[in-house]
Structure 1
């Protein structure tokens, strides 16, 4: 069923060039925490659900892929996805998968920490444009196929850019998956407001964990971070596309998509109305 609210491509504060980099890093850290959180209201983290979705959708071909995360931010769910997927493959005696983090604005400090703890997750130091991905990145020397991941990021692209990205994906990659934590529904406002409340409540603990006094200052004294999380979260809801809208962009992107099929679904990750929405698209074999 089509949402009652039309898609509006409004601006998000975190996307703006004038938004301070050190605050953007804290926003990205907060979103990474949201991807990986387990609470009494969250029996499974969104990252775990995303991994389970990939395992189910890729099936026996799972180990033949390399996952490339476009617009990776601070890493988001990719480390958790990699651990869950490789744990599944290891239990079956199959070769494991590698992941690559990329972004138009690379968060190298966060990615280096991830790599130190997990060498199967590498990253691109240079800026990567998802609409014109470097061939050295998508043409794997190990012969593996490329699965592009868009984790909480595809809604950032306007229609023209989204078409260019999908065209480049179809022409150079073997599959893509889109994961979003929101949709265009009034009920989703509750989930976004819960995120803002959590950002305020957890600020002292996160400031100590991240050794970042600025996290406390800009959450409690000058509440910039909670405001941006809520404002951008609400705008993200308005920007998020339905699977049908994604498919329309795919079919009109200018590449040959006649053999590509799309599957989609949603899974609740937090009570009462927080859902992980997913789209997986691949050529019919």
Structure 2
């Protein structure tokens, strides 16, 4: 799919129930971690961190922290040193962040206050990452996220856990519903509301299917990302853009940029 449609996602709507939004993000976090969707891009991220001599990441638009714990472990393994990551979001999922902080013995930290990805506070330096969220933004705002990293001379990595292929829509429509029903009791931290909105009033699976479909249509292809960086006044930046293959046969779209 080379085209891009910016339809509405439920979790972006201010009126959408927060408890359902959190449940959907928890499902995404569990699935991303279970299949290791972001493992193929860790070498690109490690290279960017090594180039900048950083071991501190600032994760933007963290949602429920989908896959970040696995990325952190793989980074430490590949870099041979400790790495800390600060989770941030416009709507912080504090319960999920506290759980991840506890699981990582504090290596995964979080900012309780709302953080705008287009204007990250200067007191939060570090290599920036955006996992599974860049597609939420229209081109002007998405470009502004990249421009803010350039303006503050910070590295940035953008990663989407799909390759924008037609067969991925079939997975969302016919496989995701069954997976959600199977995994929900095992998602931690446990909440009764997640069970209620999965099995009794199935807003979480229905919302996940809708948003998953829209997300694929919204994804920026590597060609879109290349056009974005070409509009930035950043001749001193090195950019790596493309698709990394996952063991499942899908691809992960990535962009990694840092000052040369």
Pick one of 38, 52, 72 that aligns with 1:47.
38
CA-atom RMSD in angstroms: 2.1
Write the mapping of 1:138-217 to structure 2, written as runs, cut at 5 A.
138=125, 146-193=126-173, 194-203=175-184, 205-206=185-186, 210-217=189-196
Q: Is the 8 A contact 1:182 1:236 kept in 2?
A: no
1:214 and 1:26 mapped to 2: Cα distance? Answer: 8
1:228 and 1:246 mapped to 2: Cα distance? Answer: 27
2:88 and 2:146 mapped to 1: Cα distance? Answer: 16
How high is the TM-score relative to the length of structure 2?
0.90
Q: Is the 8 A contact 1:63 1:89 kept in 2?
A: no
Residue 70 of structure 1 is matched in structure 2 by 60
| SS of 1:67 mapped into structure 2 | strand
* 1:33 aligns to 2:30 (yes or no): yes
- Superposed CA deviations along residues 103-127 of structure 1, whole A, max 9, x for unmatched, are 0111111111222232122111110
2:83 and 2:189 mapped to 1: Cα distance? Answer: 29
How high is the TM-score relative to the length of structure 1?
0.83
Relative contact order, higher structure (CA 8 A, sep 6+)? 2
Which ranges of structure 2 fall in alignment gaps of 5 or more residues? none
1:246 and 1:137 mapped to 2: Cα distance? Answer: 25
The aligned length equals 258
Pick one of 5, 10, 26 that aligns with 1:8.
5
Q: Is the 8 A contact 2:237 2:257 kept in 1?
A: yes
1:80 and 1:31 mapped to 2: Cα distance? Answer: 14
- Superposed CA deviations along residues 52-72 of structure 1, whole A, max 9, x for unmatched, are 4423x3374375242110001
Larger radius of gyration: 1
Pick one of 114, 136, 143 that aligns with 1:127.
114
Structure-2 change in CA distance of 1:25 and 1:88 (3 Å): same
- Superposed CA deviations along residues 70-117 of structure 1, whole A, max 9, x for unmatched, are 001111122211112112333xxxx42221111011111111122223
* 1:263 aligns to 2:243 (yes or no): no
Residue 222 of structure 1 is matched in structure 2 by 201
2:235 and 2:190 mapped to 1: Cα distance? Answer: 51
Which ranges of structure 1 fall in alignment gaps of 5 or more residues? 39-44, 139-145
Structure-2 change in CA distance of 1:265 and 1:251 (3 Å): closer
